[in-house]
Each structure stands twice: as C-alpha cells, then as structure tokens.
Chains A and B, each alone.
Chain A
Amino acid sequence: MQIEAPPSAPSAPRRTIDIVNASLKRRYAREARFRFMGAAAVTLGLLFVAVLFADIAGKGYSAFQQTYIQVPVYFDPAILEPTGTPDPQTLAGADYQALVKASVRLLFPELTERRQLREAYALISAGAPQQLASMVSAHPSVIGTTRDLWLIAGADVDMLMKGHLDRAMPEADRHIKDSSIALLDRLAADGRIEKRFNTGFFTNGTSREPELAGIAGALAGTFYTLVLTLLFSFPLGVGAALYLQEFAPKNRWTDLIEVNINNLAAVPSIVFGLLGLAVFINFFGVPRSTPLVAALVLGLMTLPVIIIASRAALQSVPPSIREAALGVGASPLQTQFHHVLPLAMPGIMTGAIIGMARALGESAPLLMIGMIAFIVDVPQGFTDAATVLPVQIYLWADSPERGFVERTSAAILVLLGFLVLMNLAAVLLRRRFERRW
C-alpha cells in the first residue's frame, strides 16, 4: 500500500515517507518472490509424493482382487475314502490333487489329450487342493455329492483377467497358451470366472505361488515385534529421560551421555542389526528371526528417539509447576510423577509413536538377524520364526513373477496405511493436549 506523499517544493529536503515509498516496491517484490518460491517448493514436494502414491496404488490395487473359477466338484468317495472308513485321518491324507484334476476333467469333458489336460489343470491354482481339503474337514457331509465351487485361479489366469498379460503378444512370449485363453473365454462366457475381494491376501502367510501369498504372517510378525519394541523402549526411554532431565547432576559425564544419545539417534539402522546379531543372537543366544530379537534390536534403535523426545517434552513443562509441587512439600519423585510427567505425556507419546513408526518401516537391521527367512506359517508368539512387513515387501520385490509385483505394491499400500494412521495419531495427540497450563 503506497502512501501518497503530499507535493513538496523541489528544494525541500527529502522526507522519510518518500524514501520509504521509493524502496517499498522492491521490498514487496522480494516478498512476493519468496512466497512464490515457498509455494513452488511445497507444490513440488506434494507432486513427488502424489506420483509415488499413484504409482504404488496403480500397481497394487488389483492385488486386493483375486480371480476365481467355478468348477463342478464331485467329492468322490473313492478318492477321499479309499479304505471305505470315514475317519478324519484318512480324510486329511486323501489325494485332493486328484480330486481337483477330476473336477477339471468334469469341467472340460471334451479334453482327452494329456497335453490339453495339463494345460487345463494349470488354470487352477496349486492352492485349490488345500481349499477342498479344508472344506471337506469342515463339512464331511459333502462327500458323495457334487457341488459347484469357486476355486482359486492360477497366477497366470489371474494376471490375464486383470489385464496384466497382453493377449496381443506372440504366443511364444506369453505365459499362457492360446488354447488356454480359448478355454478361459468359454468359461467367462458361461459366467464361470469371477474376480472377488482377495481375503486370502490378509489371511494367508507368504507362498511360492503369488495367488496364494498373503501378508498375514508379516502382519502378525510386525505386530508382535512392535508390541515388544514398545514394551522395551518406552519405559526405558522415559525413565532415562526423566533421570537425565530432572535428577542427574549436570556435569561432564551427563554431557557425554547426552552427546552419545544424540549420536545413537543418527546411527544407521543396519549397525543396530549387526549389534543385535553379535550380542543378542551370538552371545545371549536369543533365537534368530523371531519377533523377540527383532524387538530387542528395534527397541535399541528407538530408545534414543524416545529419550530425546521425552526430554524435550519434560523441558517444555514450565518450572513453575515443579516449584508449586515442591512448595507444598511434594518429594522430587512425587513432583515428577504427579505433575511433570502427566503434563509431558502427550509430547512423550508423540515421540514414541514417531519412533514406533520408524521401527515399523525398518528392514535393514532385521535382515541381519535372520528375519529374511522364507516363513509360510503365521507366527503365533514372540519366539516363533517370523518376518515383518517391510522385509516381506523386500522379499516379494525380489520375485520375478508378475503376481508378486502387484502384491509388493499392495503390501506397501498396507504399510503406508499403518504409517499414516500412526502419524495421524501423533498429530491428533499433539493437537488434543497442546498447552494446558
């Protein structure tokens, strides 16, 4: 806003307002430039994030669906109960592979050549026998009947149906033969092919077959690991922060400790993995690739983050609160636990959540302690062999099959979802409890 200077005689000395007005334009231009650069930086940053998200989501969303083929299954007593006695033992040991093959032959009665049949069998996933086995053990009454069942389609069929395999490609370069495509087209025309929500992705452990691979194992491993990590690092971190901030004498030793804690927070995470391998596994004999040892390593890694955040939170509690408590005769410990700590808690929790979010996304140190093993079973406890989400992503990303590409992206989406939730919780916590004194 320019203030008009009143006209003055040319000989009059220049007034302040004229000088100010003269420089005003330049000052505003500078500000506008700065604002523009700031806005541009933010936009660029957001753009990169958006591209990243769009790419991952675009690749990964199809993993939340799975192709199924409807097959008439005759639960043949001759296959299921070759001895004639219906006991669970023989049922569990029955040849379900044969049952699936028989069902496929039922689906395509016109196929007789072995080569044609082998192609037709490949349309159904290797997980289908397991599907039938669990059905039979749950409802033995199906034996002897014929049911139309939706069986999981093989990975190549799944990819084709999702449009990830190009029909226009020459047959030799394609995973799936023309004849198979013809069979599938017929099934589709009959309404025997369907894409459904892929519950298996959330309930299965990993697998060699992409269509059967799920994140349940990795999620359970992550859950057990994070729970233990929090249990290890939170009380220890808050206790250390409380002691250092409020009780420890300020001298050269505590200065040294402080410097070291700050250093630890910046140490590359792989170093913690090496330490875990040397100390926890090789020296203390903690079982490798378990949530327990992972939590010990991640707990060590998170500890400095929690200590630093907690100290900052404690420091931000005004000293007048401490004086008030001490002034009515509270002991130093009572002062801390009744007044200072509750007031610092939101800040401490924010720090802890951020530390946990970092632990959630960590893979490098876990590779060092054996979390990279191929583990199909969903872990049931803290000492079962397990893997975690980021490592699972790393493993899948290494697999060449197209089916694992979409699963990698889907797992990243799940991981990002959890990270967003945690960071959101941290922000909400900070908002909710901001400055109450």
Chain B
Amino acid sequence: MSTLASEIIRNTGAISAADLARGGRVSGTIGDITAPDPRMVCRGVNVWYGAKQAIRDVSLDIGKNQVVAMIGPSGCGKSTFLRCLNRMNDTIDGCRVGGSIRLDGQEIYDKRVDPVPLRAQVGMVFQKPNPFPKSIYENVAYGPRIHGLTNSKAELDALVETSLKKAGLWNEVKERLDQPGTGLSGGQQQRLCIARTIAVSPEVILMDEPCSALDPIATAIIEELIDELREHYAIAIVTHSMQQAARVSQRTAYFHLGDLVEVGETNQVFTNPRHQLTEDYITGRFG
C-alpha cells in the first residue's frame, strides 16, 4: 500500500513535505462538509479493521432531500464509511468505529441505541442485488411485517403496491407478485431491493454501487428513481461512475486511501476540483 501511495504522491506532486512525512496522508478535508438540513451528521469518524485503519477522521453531513455521491479509487473506504451509517459494520469481526455519527441528533453508536430499529431508519441497497429467495410480495412485505408497520392484510397489500410503484417496478410485476424475486432480471431485482428498502419508510437510504451489476438501460431507470426518491429521503450513494455521480447527486465527496479529501457541490467538484488528488481522479489520471 505504501508503495502505491508514494507512487501517487510522486505523480501528483500536490502533497506537502509534511504530508509525505506522515505517509502521504492528506490533512483535513477541502470544501464544505455540512448540509443545510442534515439528517446524519458524522464528525471525526475513524474505522479500524483489526489493527488496520480503513477510515481516518472523516466528517460529513448527509442532508435531507439530497443525494451525496461518494467517489474514489477502489479500496479507499467508501463502502466502509457507508456501512458505518447503519452499523452494518457491527457484523464484521474486528471492525471498530470511533468518532461521532448522529441521526437526527441521536448518537447511533451510543450503547443504548439498538442497531435493529436503526437499520429500519437507515435503509441500505447493496452492490449485488440480493432479493430473498421468496416471492416478490414477500420480499417487499418482510420489513413492514417484522416491524409491525401495518395492521391488516389490506394495508400491507397497499404498502407493497406503493413501494413497488415508488421503485418503478409495479407495472412489470403486478401480475406475478407470488413468483420468486430471484426470477427477475438483474435490474428488476435491484429495483425490488430498493422497494424492499423503502417499504419500511427509512429516513436515509444508503446505496453501495447499486448499478454496478446493471446494463445502461437498467442503470438509467434506477438513476431516475434515485432522483425521485430524493424528494422524501436523504440519500448517500457510492459509485465508480463519474457520470452517474454527476447525474444523480447534488453533493460529491471524494475519498482517498481512507481520507475524505474534498467535498462540495457536485457541479463544482466536477468542473472545478480544488484538490490535486480530486482533479487527477476526475480527469482519469489514476483510480
């Protein structure tokens, strides 16, 4: 890793001698990390896998009615950071999280906070579509059912329908709700997973490369969907596609080797990056 880091440093030439002395790490984040109406507020987040630090002192707000895109070279800690936001990292042995992450003012890593209801509030869509090997209906109804969100079968039916409609899948599957969700195409499966996530009415939706397994048409559908979902939810999305980040997000955060290098309005980051590393990545010089 250190050889890769020094390689990058030599190539960019934008890092001070002090940075070099600290092993090529970037000090501080350039740009405005705050959002006007934040749902989630992260301050000084550090993550270790065993002895290895994967995230270093990251501070970022996830704003309401906003899409934050996280970009950066592979292995820079985007997924790791995202998984902190709904405590999905709890399931990984040896993963430790430090710093402060608050959801609507409540510290989510507080001992008294139960990760189970937290994950109902902060939903997640994964890179690879992972529907349950059950019927389409059951896939969407599962979350509401275990949380007891509906009082009757009719209510549940209605919730399943609206969720599938919001995910733009209703018209394609309304005739075959009892068929297995795993029998859908990849793009449909991913929309089913989105429907499953929004069926529990989360406040924040986290998406980890939701389109990486999809073709351009399915990707376009999901990007449109993300844009619509923004109306109701705060969204954080990890993507490897610069175009996608530019299309769907309002703010963009650039990660590099576990540091959050730069945050800003998406327009500004893509047209006028302020950090050399960001510019190099966006212009395709490495990554």
Residue of A nearest to B124 (CB): A327
Q: Is A147 part of the binding interface, using a Cβ–Cβ cutoff of 8 Å?
A: no
Residues 66-118 (chain B) with a chain A CB within 8 angstroms: 86, 88, 91, 93, 116-118
Tell me the bound Cα distance from A436 to B180 in angstroms.
Answer: 10
Q: Which residues of chain B are within 8 angstroms of A321 by Cβ–Cβ distance?
A: 130, 132-133
Q: Which residues of chain A are within 8 angstroms of B199 by Cβ–Cβ distance?
A: 328
Q: Are A327 and B182 in contact (CB under 8 A)?
A: no
Residues 105-141 (chain B) with a chain A CB within 8 angstroms: 116-120, 123-124, 126, 128, 130-133
Q: Are A322 and B197 in contact (CB under 8 A)?
A: no
Indicate with 1 or 0, residue by residue over A411-437, a CB within 8 angstroms of chain B CB atoms: 000000000000000000000000011
Tell me the bound Cα distance from A322 to B130 in angstroms.
Answer: 9
Contact status of A325 and B132, CB under 8 A, knowing A250-B93, A338-B142, A437-B182? yes
Q: Are B143 and A328 in contact (CB under 8 A)?
A: yes
Q: Are A323 and B126 in contact (CB under 8 A)?
A: yes
Q: Which residues of chain B are within 8 angstroms of A326 by Cβ–Cβ distance?
A: 88, 91, 119
CB-contact partner of B120 in A325, A328, A334, A343, under 8 A: A328
Tell me the bound Cα distance from A343 to B132 in angstroms.
Answer: 10
Q: Is A320 part of the binding interface, using a Cβ–Cβ cutoff of 8 Å?
A: yes
Q: Is B196 part of the binding interface, using a Cβ–Cβ cutoff of 8 Å?
A: yes
Q: Are A329 and B120 in contact (CB under 8 A)?
A: yes
Contact status of A331 and B197, CB under 8 A, knowing A323-B130, A343-B133? no
Contact status of A322 and B146, CB under 8 A, knowing A327-B86, A328-B196? no
Q: Which residues of chain A are within 8 angstroms of B182 by Cβ–Cβ distance?
A: 436-437
Q: Is B232 part of the binding interface, using a Cβ–Cβ cutoff of 8 Å?
A: no
Q: Are A329 and B147 in contact (CB under 8 A)?
A: yes
Rounded to whole Å, the gap between the CB of A329 and the closest CB of chain B is: 3
Interface centre among A322, A329, A339, A436, by most B CB within 10 Å?
A329
Tell me the bound Cα distance from A202 to B120 in angstroms.
Answer: 60
Rounded to whole Å, the gap between the CB of B192 and the closest CB of chain A is: 11
Q: Are B131 and A328 in contact (CB under 8 A)?
A: no
Q: Are B117 and A329 in contact (CB under 8 A)?
A: yes
Rounded to whole Å, the gap between the CB of B123 and the closest CB of chain A is: 7
Indicate with 1 or 0, residue by residue over A289-328, a CB within 8 angstroms of chain B CB atoms: 0000000000000000000000000000010111111111
Q: Are B91 and A320 in contact (CB under 8 A)?
A: no
Rounded to whole Å, the gap between the CB of B150 and the closest CB of chain A is: 14
Q: Which residues of chain A are within 8 angstroms of B119 by Cβ–Cβ distance?
A: 326-329
Tell me the bound Cα distance from A237 to B146 in angstroms.
Answer: 27
Q: Which residues of chain A are within 8 angstroms of B118 by Cβ–Cβ distance?
A: 329
CB-contact partner of A329 in B130, B133, B143, B193, under 8 A: B143
Q: Are A339 and B200 in contact (CB under 8 A)?
A: no
Q: Which residues of chain B are within 8 angstroms of A343 by Cβ–Cβ distance?
A: 133
Q: Are A328 and B200 in contact (CB under 8 A)?
A: yes
Residues 230-279 (chain A) with a chain B CB within 8 angstroms: 249-250
Q: Which residues of chain B are within 8 angstroms of A322 by Cβ–Cβ distance?
A: 91
Q: Which residues of chain A are within 8 angstroms of B124 by Cβ–Cβ distance?
A: 323, 327
Tell me the bound Cα distance from A320 to B131 in angstroms.
Answer: 9
CB-contact partner of B146 in A249, A324, A330, A436, under 8 A: A330
Q: Which residues of chain B are within 8 angstroms of A320 by Cβ–Cβ distance?
A: 126, 128, 130
Dominant secondary structure at the A interface: helix
Residues 350-387 (chain A) with a chain B CB within 8 angstroms: none
Tell me the bound Cα distance from A216 to B119 in angstroms.
Answer: 58
Number of interface residues of B (CB under 8 A): 27
Q: Which residues of chain A are within 8 angstroms of B86 by Cβ–Cβ distance?
A: 327
Contact status of A437 and B196, CB under 8 A, knowing A320-B128, A322-B91, A338-B142? no
Residue of A nearest to B126 (CB): A323
Q: Are A339 and B132 in contact (CB under 8 A)?
A: yes
Residue of B nearest to A435 (CB): B133
Rounded to whole Å, the gap between the CB of A299 and the closest CB of chain B is: 32
Q: Are B120 and A324 in contact (CB under 8 A)?
A: no
Tell me the bound Cα distance from A326 to B131 in angstroms.
Answer: 13
Q: Are B146 and A334 in contact (CB under 8 A)?
A: yes
Tell me the bound Cα distance from A327 to B193 in angstroms.
Answer: 10
Residues 187-201 (chain B) with a chain A CB within 8 angstroms: 193, 196-197, 199-200
Tell me the bound Cα distance from A140 to B269 in angstroms.
Answer: 106
Tell me the bound Cα distance from A423 to B118 in angstroms.
Answer: 46
CB-contact partner of B197 in A250, A328, A330, A437, under 8 A: A328
Rounded to whole Å, the gap between the CB of A317 and the closest CB of chain B is: 10
Tell me the bound Cα distance from A327 to B124 in angstroms.
Answer: 6
Tell me the bound Cα distance from A265 to B119 in angstroms.
Answer: 40
Tell me the bound Cα distance from A331 to B123 in angstroms.
Answer: 14
Q: Are A323 and B132 in contact (CB under 8 A)?
A: no
Residue of B nearest to A249 (CB): B93
Tell me the bound Cα distance from A318 to B132 in angstroms.
Answer: 11
Tell me the bound Cα distance from A343 to B131 in angstroms.
Answer: 13
Rounded to whole Å, the gap between the CB of A339 and the closest CB of chain B is: 6
Tell me the bound Cα distance from A325 to B130 in angstroms.
Answer: 10
CB-contact partner of A323 in B88, B146, B200, under 8 A: B88
Q: Which residues of chain A are within 8 angstroms of B130 by Cβ–Cβ distance?
A: 318, 320-321, 323-324
Q: Which residues of chain B are within 8 angstroms of A250 by Cβ–Cβ distance?
A: 93
Q: Which residues of chain B are within 8 angstroms of A331 by Cβ–Cβ distance?
A: 116
Tell me the bound Cα distance from A334 to B148 in angstroms.
Answer: 14
Q: Which residues of chain A are within 8 angstroms of B132 by Cβ–Cβ distance?
A: 321, 324-325, 339
Indicate with 1 or 0, residue by residue over B170-204, a CB within 8 angstroms of chain A CB atoms: 00000000000010000000000100110110000
Q: Which residues of chain A are within 8 angstroms of B116 by Cβ–Cβ distance?
A: 329-331
Q: Which residues of chain A are within 8 angstroms of B88 by Cβ–Cβ distance?
A: 323, 326-327
Tell me the bound Cα distance from A320 to B208 in angstroms.
Answer: 13
Contact status of A324 and B117, CB under 8 A, knowing A329-B146, A339-B132, A437-B182? no
Could you list 27 examples of A-B contacts with CB < 8 Å? A249-B93, A318-B130, A320-B128, A321-B130, A321-B133, A322-B91, A323-B130, A324-B126, A324-B130, A324-B193, A324-B196, A326-B91, A327-B119, A327-B124, A327-B126, A328-B119, A328-B123, A329-B118, A329-B119, A329-B120, A329-B146, A330-B146, A331-B116, A338-B146, A339-B132, A343-B133, A437-B133
In the complex, besides A324-B126, A328-B197, 4 extra interface pairs with C-beta distance below 8 angstroms are A249-B93, A327-B88, A330-B143, A343-B133
List the 6 closest A-B pairs by CB distance, nearest first.
A329-B120, A328-B143, A320-B130, A327-B124, A329-B119, A324-B130
- The residues of B with any CB-CB pair to A shorter than 8 Å are 86, 88, 91, 93, 116-120, 123-124, 126, 128, 130-133, 142-143, 146-147, 182, 193, 196-197, 199-200
